[in-house]
Amino acid sequence: MAQGKNGGRGRSDGRAGRDGRGGAGRSGRGAGYSSASKTVKYGLCKELEGHVFDYSGNGAADKMRVTMEKVQQYVGLKFGEDIANELKNRVKVVLPPPTYSTAAIARHVQYEQLIRTQQATLSTAMRAQLKALEDAAAATARAALSASIAGSGSVSSVSSVDDEALLKIARLKNEIAEIEFESQQEVPHKLTSEEASLYGNEMKTHSLRVATLEKHRGQAFALIVGQCTQLLLDKMKQEK
């Protein structure tokens, strides 16, 4: 009986051994087993690794939102605030030009009134002079016609006087037309040397900022396209 018990224990030990082998086997398979890894999709920008615009897949809307946020952050760090705001707000950024100082604006109001008054006064005087010349030319023409009819007029002398009068009239009309044109144009600001220097520098900065933003728009567009999967690009090409 003791041997039987011992044998039983032996069989029990054997089963334990089998269990041990089985456990070890399962443990071994567990250690060597790996679940299917998720495929990470890449765009052309290494810094945005794993953030791409795709056409399909679970949670595509959330992925697109997150990817766009990452693109905005990257663009803001690399290109600046102006283009980042365009991507964030989906509204084209308009950069207002610099303005003149309060003193320069107040001075300009008075200066513009002065210029308009001078133009109006000069135009009125020139029109009066033009009318006088035209009346005199008409009177000379009538006198020449009467003299010619009477046969006592000198055609050559009258012709010379008429040419001079017509030339004066033409020049005066041109001057009046020029004044009318100037009266429709914006009166330039009269700035001090300090104001002119400051405004000139601000204009240069503004022009550079506008040109830079235009450049960054193209770069941001290329970046976004580069973060699109080929499937999405193909689908977009098919859109009307």
Packed helices 102-150 and 155-183: angle between N→C axes, nearest 10 degrees: 160
pLDDT confidence of residue 105: 95
User: Could you read off the pLDDT of 27-55 as tens digits, one per residue?
Assistant: 444 444 444 455 667 788 888 988 999 88
**0.75 exceeded by pTM:** no
pLDDT confidence of residue 56: 75
Please state the length of the chain: 240
pLDDT confidence of residue 6: 47
pLDDT confidence of residue 161: 58
pLDDT confidence of residue 159: 56
User: Could you read off the pLDDT of 105-134 as tens digits, one per residue?
Assistant: 999 999 999 999 999 999 999 999 999 999
pLDDT confidence of residue 55: 84
> In this structure, what token pair is assigned to residue 220?
């941001």
Phi, psi at 228, each rounded to 5°: -90, 135
Q: Which of 104, 110, 97 is nearest to 191 (CA)?
A: 104
Instruction: Identify the segments of the chain with pLDDT beneath 50.
Output: 1-36
Helix (H) or strand (E) holding 84: helix 81-89
Domain coordinates of the chain in residue numbers?
Answer: 1-34, 46-96+209-238, 103-190
pLDDT confidence of residue 17: 47
Spatial contact of 158 and 139, defined as CB atoms under 8 Å apart: no
Tokens 């006064």 label which residue?
121
